[in-house]
Structure 1
């Protein structure tokens, strides 16, 4: 079963404008499936660099590779390019010969300056994450969406995440098995292989530490001490986990460094199902930090870059995003009433006077309240999408 992805139309427009399109995203987020769907009707070749013969030829003799795999086709799809050695110059050679290229990578290592410098002005870069809530609903076949159906859908989407294979699997045990296997593969292939990290056991310990503490303020030095590794090693491992699409680091929002505290990021899993699997615990009901992680994931899938706000006086707003040049504060609540706006949100409104603010609800009454000149909107996840992605 193919599930239409929201990114498809944008991909087609970018592909019309650039000779090379790079599609980056976590392993098994649906990159290959989407490209194979979009390849239909094109005179195209497909090469998967998990194949050692294809990878060896690409690495050692790009001219022979072109003759064997690409010549005679209008379009070449090169899958999992991150496994190749120094791909930038070779991709440039193929593009110089007039071939259109669609390339994928499960690691952001492909976005390094060493690769992109060869393709300046010729490559369009897009990210495909796991299913967002709209794609999840599409995959599940929901036609009518009332409040209770949406709440159940959000719960399942939060519990098991948005990896297409996991979403489409009916068996709960098989969902969990897919997530276990997926995390092992991501650590072995994307983190260890792509970033030359040998201590896989320590990376697994680090990812579990983050899963258990997801969404809390984490001190790098405390993390390093808890795991018994150096600060430099910790940063290397975190960088590999982030570039492999496993975790997201959310930096602080501040304009006054002395009063708006800390450079420490909050760290989340990009997919809440993977987070639950790695933590070794699937909760029986929604909790605040898990729903916060879920909303963060949806904001990322909208193409936004969330930050958080915290002051020395302990005022804190979960996420601050920028849209159309305007800042929008976002609080995440399991339940809240529109007549009640929290002190921290009021403090942010007093200081920055945003045009509007959002309180994202798992359940409860939607509505709005005016605070000074700011309109505070109480919305569910569907309302968040309508407001932030229109």
Structure 2
């Protein structure tokens, strides 16, 4: 296979100026060709259509599906399949670090690094801390301040920066578009446009409430989490030496996404809540996230959910707490770490 990185000005110029010469040099003699960030080339969609129609197999990689959709995918209808790749999961992070042994102290250290700097491959494979931060800042500036702003015709970059930082310090909180609008001094419509843009670019994700009783349960307002916690920390300018509760909650959310789980949250109007609710094989599983906990210490929100919905299993996912299991009203409550959570949900 061939791999063409369109940061290379020679490859980019040849693609733009003479697609047949490009085909002969980079495509013709290979079973598969990988084209990275080709969407920035002039008339990329039509040229790729020519290559595909000529019988070539192409892998087109990009940091954002929405940018590909606008620039390329409309020319390849019926000829393309989309594969979404998240930043490295913990297991992929472990492989990249060649870390086979996982004692409790090693696990905690690795979760600290993975949650602090995230799972983007270039960040993971770089050992230098300052370089990790530089790469994350470059990703932020490229993906959000350039790509998202261009594709969604966002002119006020300062407001986009302010909004992204607002979300970065509000992870795990129920958001109000009206409150954000008032705090930032911009219109409700602008806030929704910017949030839609960030979500479609796989920077953030809205988590909606789980409910069956509109009178007693929250039914509309979402929470916001970042898909990569390292990028969140870069935007928030917060690389603390310790994992805090909000960051660990976002980290658990990110790992749930990589299991192809669509988590929701649960909250009664009396303000008792459960961090996440997932559905596996038609069974509801509530998940509470705690930095530290003890077996037997179950908070009111989880007890309330168990009493209301009578799930067979519930999880308390902890960073440093005790592991174990107990039974509450017919429900098996597992106190586990991130790996135990994945094993139970897989």
Q: TM-score, normalised by structure 2?
A: 0.88
Query: Structure 1 residue 328: deviation in Å?
Result: 1.6
C-alpha separation in 2, matches of 1:217 and 1:148: 33
Aligned residue for 1:372?
Answer: 329
Q: Does 1:123 align with 2:80?
A: yes
Counterpart contact for 1:107–1:194, Cα < 8 Å: no
Distance 1:121 1:387 in 2: 38
Question: What is the rounded CA distance, in whole Å, between the counterparts of 1:164 and 1:386 in structure 2?
Answer: 24
1:168 aligns with 2:125: yes
**Residue in 1 that maps onto 2:36:** 79
Structure-1 residue corresponding to 2:203: 246
Shift, 1:124, TM fit: 3.1
Q: Which residue of 1 aligns with 2:103?
A: 146
Matched, 1:303 2:264: no
The structural deviation recorded for 1:61 is 8.4
Contact kept in structure 2, 1:76 and 1:101, CA below 8 Å? yes
Deviations 1:314-368 (A, max 9, x none): 1211111222333221110111222232221122222222221111011121111
Q: After TM superposition, give the deviation of residue 106 of structure 1 in Å.
A: 1.2
Q: Is 1:264 the counterpart of 2:221 in the alignment? A: yes
Unmatched 5+ stretches in structure 2: none
> In the alignment, what sits opposite 1:12?
none
- Give the corresponding residue for 1:188: 145
Give secondary structure in 2 for the equivalent of 1:312.
coil
Q: CA deviation at 1:115?
A: 6.4
Can you list the C-alpha shifts for 1:164-188, whole angstroms capped at 9, x where unaligned? 2222333323322322233222223
Partner of 2:299: 342
Rounded to whole Å, the distance in 1 between the matches of 2:41 and 2:270 is 50
Matched, 1:324 2:324: no
Instruction: Identify which range, 86-95 or 319-328, moves more after superposition.
Output: 86-95
Shift in alpha-carbon separation, 1:184–1:60, aligned structure 2, 3 A: same
- SS of equivalent to 1:363: coil
Shift of 1:292: 0.3
Following the alignment from structure 2 to structure 1, what is the Cα–Cα distance between the partners of residues 189 and 20? 40
Equivalent position to 1:204, from 161, 184, 187: 161
Q: Secondary structure at the match of 1:145?
A: coil
1:3 — aligned with what?
Answer: none
Mark the CA change 1:59 to 1:319 in structure 2 (over 3 Å): closer, same or farther: farther
Q: Give per-residue Cα distances to partners, 1:212-238, cap 9 Å, x unaligned.
A: 111111101111221111122112211
Alpha-carbon distance, 1:92 to partner: 5.0
Listed one character per residue, the Cα deviations across residues 8-60 of structure 1 (whole Å, up to 9, x for unaligned) are xxxxxxxxxxxxxxxxxxxxxxxxxxxxxxxxxxxx34344456786688789
Q: Distance in 1 between matches of 2:76 and 2:283?
A: 32
Q: Which has the higher contact order (CA 8 A, sep 6+)?
A: 1
Count of aligned pairs between the two proteins: 346
Whether the 8 Å contact between 1:89 and 1:118 is mirrored in structure 2 is yes
CA deviation string 1:189-209 (max 9, x = no partner): 321233332222211111111
Distance 1:388 1:67, change over 3 A: same
Deviation readout 1:132-168 (Å, 9 max, x if unpaired):
2112222223221111110111112122222222223
